[in-house]
Structure 1
């Protein structure tokens, strides 16, 4: 039996109100064809009206074709009612409430439709996810009294997961941290959101790499923060180009997004010195640094920071699954209390079940084994893709050397931004998805080039996909 709300408070025509509210529920499809209505006697008792009042309403609905009665079965929404309702209801008024202009101008988030040859960045291979071992961790978490106690978690997150994360980044990145330094978030984007709320006021300026990843920029702008693009060269962010008055800088030094370069040690030291002189914060997004395929790893900015100016941000979206929606930030002690409050007012805390399962997954060594296994597969894809670009695209593209992450970037040698965009559209028509570098520009002149991810495409499909892409480069402009 379908339960629905009917309000008679302050109404005079009680039978008419029951009729109108049920009718509207049918037209709005809150009540669907075949849904049963409560027996007249029961609805009359619930609404504290006479049975005759309900009967009159039901008879009127039946006469107009909105409901049908079946002897011995009850009263049901008519199969024909919503067909007529679509014509009668029409479009709703746009309403007087309007969003702030920034939400009108902002582009919608990207969609990730399935394509045959998927070279888009930001994606991992879901087929490599260790479902069996993860299922065991989730089952353990469900049996845990902490996840079924029915109480709210501390805003910083599940204690066991924070301990596990602190130990993990200590081993994998050489970062000295305790569980008290860790705050669990719903991915990197929420980490940046709570940081921006704590560190910056509307009208303050934050510097971002130019080109850079779009969602953080849009987040900062939505909070009323002024975003300033700072150029990136082969050594990383150009520190000398940082303008005065900037309160914070957001960087991806381990694997710059989208150019793939790694910030050199002198640049890291220069950035830390700049932050100390200007009493500014550095937000270090250690983007997909888990996957490194050569060269000596450089220390994160956080490990070089002696003044407590760096906030370290990480995520499990690439190493596990984006759908898990778990990330973290490591905060200096001076920001800890404020960040706990910001996380609390944002959503109180992330899912306790997922946190408990991930903490167990890390503690049991399953996470490290998973990263080693998929890292070997991504290493092979990285090499196959790099070889294909260097061999087959040398006259068109200059590959930017990179030994980290899940994408490669190549600059166009002689082609314009528009020509590269045309090639990408033509490739999409052939089932090959690539991203153009120009869409990541902040304020500088957009660069012509392409980004090629290898997280989501099987190794065996890379050569065929690149062959199709090469044909798009060779075809005549339309």
Structure 2
């Protein structure tokens, strides 16, 4: 890679090189520690004599802009390096649109490594200690070999055929989804799947219905696309179908493990929802984000497997079964919107990176995904049982759970009989002071009256940490009581 220096004319050549290098260091374009090209190489690049470059390097070294390291080369001196400067913002014709995006509050953001608490009940985080690094590494090596045989073209926007076939087989086996490889589109996580569906269904003023409480990032995404989001309340059977507006073009639901309360949608409510969508011409977006982990009761059918009229788009992710960092998800699409979503995918990012696609296709086809899910299931089940035992025991004066049968988070409600009522936000703040991460349910509500409760994620907290964490929660509740 060539260093960007522009030489004009044939006069003051050394001064031109010197000033451009110095200015690049002062403004931060050349950061501390960056190695400059050898003088011979830069001279050849610029068509100058090597002495001109050597003299420039020497002058900048004398002035402490550069530092030479014997046997290594010439580097930007940290003492004189600066952060890149930004030009002052100008007045934009689209300032009101930019401001709209700036006002969006992004919930559910995972902390950085530096911000992680000792005891953290963060939802959506997985058991990274369970990840099969050796098997995945072998699959990645396979992916590199596969890519070496390709011709260097862009790949298919809908995803590699091998991965689409592997996904179709996996979800048919695990969730009863009725699809072939041609119905699957590979995405950068479930969030991109939601974005693609929204792009082809929503225009400003379109109505989208979703559960309240519900998955807030989906709500924000639909609103950002210009939709009017209709908040539909839920009860113990799921979304109340009768309150879905007749002009909704899309209905977003999490029927297997309601986000965030956790209860599954009843069979009668599923049939009613499918009939409602058929009648009003809406697409149901079924977000089946973590139902691979089921602990009790009979498995429930996916909405997609019950769909007789092509109204369900089934969204899945590998962020919960593998790792969020992989950013791999998929959507099984009805014929009515399949081609449109594929075109939207190509216009958005052309295609998902093929390296992880090749790796994942091998990982699934060799049975490693199912093996990993079984191993994680055992781990999560133990954590879940420990939390339930404590809430039914010494935490029962303050807390109660909403029954759920799947996933790796549960909703824990403050008992309404508590007098005086506990200030939930103060409780969360006090918990952070004790290195305990608690997450209130309030952020998932839109129009419905929020209930005082917590989402307890048990995907990332170790079993041996659960009792010390809940001891701290109990001690805090005793102080509030």
TM-score (norm 2): 0.89
The question of 1:464 aligning with 2:462 is answered: no
1:319-353 deviation per Cα after TM superposition (whole angstroms, max 9, x unaligned): 11111111110011222211111111111111212
C-alpha displacement at 1:244, in angstroms?
Answer: 3.5
Aligned partner of residue 393 in structure 2, secondary structure: helix
What do residues 54-109 of structure 1 show as CA deviations (whole Å, max 9, x unaligned)? 68866875675535789999876455433xx57xx877523445561222111245
Structure 2, gaps ≥5 residues long: none
Q: Is the 8 A contact 1:182 1:328 kept in 2?
A: yes
Residue aligning to 1:93: 88
Change (3 A) 1:417 1:342: farther
Aligned counterpart, 1:313: 315
Residue 452 of structure 1 aligns with which residue? Answer: 456
Which of 325, 328, 331 is matched with 1:326 structurally?
328
Aligned-partner Cα distance in 1 for 2:302–2:116 = 35
User: Does the 8 Å CA contact 1:389/1:397 hold for their aligned counterparts?
Assistant: yes
The 1:55–1:310 alpha-carbon spacing in structure 2 relative to 1, beyond 3 Å, is same
Superposition pairs of residues 105-184 of structure 1, within 5 angstroms: 105-108=103-106, 110-112=109-111, 113-144=115-146, 148-184=150-186
The corresponding residue for 1:435 is 439
**In the aligned structure 2, how far is the partner of 1:278 from the partner of 1:452?**
37
Distance change >3 Å, CA 92–CA 160, structure 1 → 2: same
Distance between the aligned counterparts of 1:73 and 1:368, measured in 2? 49
Residue 318 (structure 1) shift: 0.9
Distance 1:41 1:327 in 2: 49
- CA drift of 1:365 comes to 1.2
1:407-446 correspondence runs (5 A): 407-414=409-416, 419-446=423-450
Counterpart residue number, 2:22: 23
Q: Which moved more, 1:63-72 or 1:261-270?
A: 63-72
- Displacement of 1:115 in angstroms is 2.0
- State how many pairs are aligned: 472
Q: What is the CA distance between 1:262 and its match in structure 2?
A: 0.6
Cα deviation 1:264-290 (Å, max 9, x = unaligned): 011111111111111111000012000
Judged with a 3 Å threshold, the aligned counterparts in structure 2 of structure 1 residues 70 and 195 are, in CA distance, closer, same or farther, namely closer
- TM-score, scaled to structure 1: 0.89
Which runs of no fewer than 5 residues in structure 1 stay unpaired?
Answer: none
Q: Structure 2 vs 1, CA of residues 441 and 9 (structure 1 numbering), >3 Å: closer, same or farther?
A: farther
Moved more, 105-114 or 254-263: 105-114
Structure 1 contact 317–326 (Cα < 8 Å) conserved: yes
Q: Tell me how large the CA RMSD over aligned residues is.
A: 2.9
Instruction: Name the structure 2 match of 1:226.
Output: 228
Whether the aligned pair in 2 keeps the contact of 1:417 and 1:438 (CA below 8 Å) is no
Please, which of 231, 246, 249 is the counterpart of residue 247 of structure 1? 249
Distance 1:443 1:365, change over 3 A: same
